[in-house]
Amino acid sequence: MTRLPSFAAASLLAALSIVGCTSTPPVATTGWETLIDGNTGLNNWSSIGGGNWRAQDGAIVADNKLSSDSAYLVTHNPYKDFQIRTEFWVTSDTNSGIYMRCADVRPITDRTCYEANIFDRRPDPAFGTGAVVHLAKVVPMPKAAGKWNTYDITVKGNRITVMLNGVKTAEVEDSRRASGPIALEYAGGVVKFRKFQIRQL
């Protein structure tokens, strides 16, 4: 059997040690569909309700609407079981949210869709930012204003799980809505969404 010189063996062991100590492995990207990035603009969405949604600095932004009704961006396709991950930025007076499995899009409401809320000033804070409106409370309610936040939402079968900035804020089982499009809401303040991805499960 051939033996390595001592200096070569030491170098090999050092190299293997470095490889073994590498930080977190790269995140798997298989199956993810990107609906908002710095290039696609509004191509993956239909606008309902007259909000001034626009592409700006790698995000989709809204800060005004043409009527008193809420405005939405709605996906072209329906989704059944899926995982969403996205980043969002809001002001303290923003009223927004991510609507899922919408039974209808005219109108879109928090009774015909599941809504992961973004609303730091909601009159009933139990269903404010981080909650699933009407179904899963968040106590105490986290505040999202003035910084980039991450939402990681899993909807599979009857279970909905909401993670805000890496912390589970809501989880609920409900069987009333099995499939439907996803919508982003603008109802006041300033909202920005970026790096919006979805993966069907």
What is the tally of structural domains in the chain? 1
Classify residue 21: in a domain, yes or no: no
* Residues 61, 5: Cα–Cα separation, whole Å: 62
Dihedral in degrees, nearest 10, Cα atoms 87, 93, 95, 98: 10
- Find the largest Cα–Cα distance for the chain: 82
Classify residue 176: in a domain, yes or no: yes
**Tell me: the pLDDT tens digits for 60-70?**
999 999 888 89
Classify residue 66: in a domain, yes or no: yes
Cβ-contact 125, 133 below 8 angstroms: no
Classify residue 140: in a domain, yes or no: yes
Classify residue 25: in a domain, yes or no: no
CA-wise closest residue to 195 among 139, 142, 148? 148
Classify residue 50: in a domain, yes or no: yes
Classify residue 194: in a domain, yes or no: yes
Q: Which domain holds residue 55?
A: 32-200
**pLDDT computed for residue 29 by the predictor:** 58
**Tell me: the pLDDT tens digits for 99-142?**
999 999 989 999 999 999 999 999 999 999 999 999 999 999 99
Classify residue 60: in a domain, yes or no: yes
CATH of the domain at 194: 2.60.120.560
